[in-house]
Structure 1
Amino acid sequence: MDVTPEYCQMMAKYNAWQNSQVRAACEKLTEAELRADRGAFFGSVMATLNHVLWGDTLWMSRLEGGAGPAVTAQNHADICPTFAVWSQERSRMDQRILQWADRVKDADLSGDLQWHAVMLGKDMAKPMGLCVVHMFNHQTHHRGQIHAMLTGLGRDPGDTDLVLMPEGKSWH
């Protein structure tokens, strides 16, 4: 699978744009609305927000070698105790992903990525391109769940179509 630096840059910008819209919609929620079980895979809006952040932290540690999640996989839904903390950490992670995408070279995206999957208890090796696509797909998948929960709460999380992403806006 050929993944280019341009793909990484586009998807990093898309991720930051979408997270800014989700953040704006969630800022209007009460604590009870954030934490209520909405029948999604991780239950609540807050748990799903935390899951995406935890996953991004894990994948970025694998892709760039930086810090990984501060909590175990079993505690991923509690990585940030409050929405305010999540908002700060989400902004930091979006910047980390954008900076990685700006630095990544074609050679960085070739070959296999190797890691130890703690939850599976085994060593893994997958094509780097597949791992990058997975990280961005994982974000989009779970943000779709958040989008549905927000829509169900009568909030407008905004457009999600990649072709509607504002051009010329810097997400840095």
Structure 2
Amino acid sequence: MITGAYAREMARYSRWENSQLKGFLKALPDEELTRNQGAFFGSIMGTANHLLWGDWIWISRFDKGPGPGGGIPESVSICAGLSDWLSLRDTIDDRITRWSETLGDDELTGPFSWYSAAKEEEVTKPYAQCIIHMFNHQTHHRGQLHQMLTEAGSDAPVSDLVFLPEDF
């Protein structure tokens, strides 16, 4: 289904996307970051927090490291403000990169199990599918952020994978 090289490329893409996103978020006033825009997670900050929380919960499952605590309802407030978010975003991107560098192809063909608080049960799915899900979840919510940034009068990050710089 996928290879370790795919996961490494997607981790690199995610870091690039997040590095661009950070610049656009820093350029906005706090009122714009927290203004409810009617999105599923409310505001730009709520959505950015949920995106970070999702990455953190999945990488904690994959690398067996510490997770964020709380569930989806608490995900919108994982960081009180942008400065906390910026620091934690770097930490989680570092974890995703380190984890991706350990992946070989053979292990991706097996199952992966975790406890899902959302379903309140143990879940087992193909490991490759779980990895694809993590990266797809990122892309989905960064798309929402792109729209909210544009609606706020901001420019938004370039999100085309084909424009990922080779040296990033």
TM-score (norm 1): 0.94
Contact 2:71 2:118 in 1 (8 A): no
Q: How does 1:10-21 map to 2 (within 5 A)?
A: 10-21=9-20
Question: Does the 8 Å CA contact 1:37/1:44 hold for their aligned counterparts?
Answer: yes
CA distance in 2, matches of 1:127, 1:142: 23
Deviation, 1:102, is 1.0
Where do 5+ consecutive residues of structure 2 fail to align?
none
Partner of 1:168: 167
Post-superposition CA distance 1:110-136 (Å, at most 9, x none): 211111111211110000010000000
Return the alpha-carbon distance in structure 1 between the equivalents of residues 130 and 69 of structure 2: 21
Aligned equivalents of 1:159, 1:119: Cα separation in 2? 32
**Greater than 4 Å deviation, 4+ residue runs:** none
Partners of 2:128 and 2:16 lie apart in 1 by: 22
Identity level (%): 42
Q: Calculate the aligned-residue CA RMSD, in Å.
A: 1.0
Report what 1:121 is aligned to.
120
Q: Could you say which residue in structure 1 is the equivalent of 2:88?
A: 89
Q: Contact 1:80 / 1:86 at 8 angstroms: preserved in 2?
A: yes
Is 1:78–2:81 an aligned residue pair?
Answer: no
Residue-pair matches, total: 168
Residues 79-158 of structure 1 mapped to structure 2, 5 A cutoff: 79-158=78-157
Q: Which amino acid aligns with 2:68?
A: P
| Amino acid aligned to 1:41 | F
CA distance in 1 between counterparts of 2:58 and 2:89 reads 14
